[in-house]
Amino acid sequence: MPFSDYRTALVTGASSGIGLAVVERLAREGLQVHALARSADPLKALADRTGCIPHAVDVRDLPALTKLAGSVEFDVLVNCAGVDRPKKFLQADAEDIELLLGVNLGAVLHLCRLVVPGMVARDRGHVVNITSIAGAYNFGGNSTYHATKAAVSMLSRQLRIDAFGKRVRITEICPGRVETDIFAHVHGDSAATRAAFIDGFELPKPEDIADTIAFAIAAPVAVNIGHIEITPTLQVPGGLSTVRPEHPASPPAVT
């Protein structure tokens, strides 16, 4: 279904990174874009530049989400908001778990619950969920993040089943490392953070992800692009590690 068949879009995590780039890209296609994020000042600047409608709202604020979804018929929903608190699960704390569950998973579930039934009723709509290669591959120190992204990946597949028979399309965008400020949010905005995650690497930019989303949305109505994994050419997910035990296991006792 080309962009001409869609009129409105809701993008979360819109004040920076991929979410901001998606707002800019969809606005260029002529959609009325509602941009949702906590940071009011960046949203205002984005609205001045693109004509989007800003909503300075925490994505965990269910009453605010419910009110917004009840006031606008959204043809496109792009769930970009995300957060991480990297640490081994053995050191996880309750606050971090609740934060990641609320932002990365709860908000996506609730927005899909609030928006997708209307798409089904109108026989028109497109949901784009930004997950991560962390939802499919394991790497250290992000256990809760892995769990929430894997859940959204499964939700994306399940929504296709639940909306079966209607022209409601679901796309999961699964990025690897992208040149965004999420690393500064997680690890601190410093030269050391940039050196560790950005500088010297050849990385996709937020605009590349936004262009990929636009490609999926612009496909003909008969085409559902369900899953796209986007990684740097010089990044490989996965791997295999084997460790020698510090203390060899004792043989079983003979009785």
What's the CATH number where 126 sits? 3.40.50.720
Q: Is residue 235 situated within a structural domain? A: no
Residue 62 banded pLDDT, cuts 50, 70, 90: very high
Q: Hey, which of 108-117, 177-186, 187-196 has the most confident mean pLDDT?
A: 108-117
Identify which of 76, 137, 78, 83 has the alpha carbon closest to the alpha carbon of residue 105.
Answer: 83
Say how far apart CA 112 and CA 158 lie, in whole Å.
Answer: 11
145 is an active site residue = yes
Residue 63 banded pLDDT, cuts 50, 70, 90: very high
Residue 138 has what pLDDT?
A: 86
- The whole-chain average pLDDT of the chain stands at 92
Residue 196 has what pLDDT?
A: 76
Compare 231 and 186 and report the one with higher pLDDT.
231
**For residue 141, what is the DSSP state?**
T
Contact 71, 114 (CB under 8 A): no
Digit-coded pLDDT (tens) for 45-60:
999 999 999 999 999 9
Find the domain containing 158 and state its range. 3-230
Residue 255 has what pLDDT?
A: 66
Q: Is residue 248 situated within a structural domain? A: no
Quote the number of domains for the chain: 1
Angle at 32 between CA 29 and CA 33, to 5 degrees: 90
Report strand pairing: 32-37 vs 76-79.
unpaired
Contact 145, 100 (CB under 8 A): yes
| Main-chain dihedrals φ then ψ at residue 7, nearest 5 degrees | -120, -35
Digit-coded pLDDT (tens) for 118-177:
999 999 999 999 999 999 998 877 899 999 999 999 999 999 999 999 999 999 999 999
- From the list 105, 145, 172, 174, the catalytic residue is 145
Mean pLDDT, to the nearest integer, of 238-249?
Answer: 78
Residue 141 has what pLDDT?
A: 75
**For residue 253, what is the DSSP state?**
P
Q: Is residue 243 situated within a structural domain? A: no
Contact 9, 31 (CB under 8 A): yes
Q: Is residue 251 situated within a structural domain? A: no
Contacts of 66 (CB under 8 A, 6+ apart): 110, 114
Q: Is residue 246 situated within a structural domain? A: no
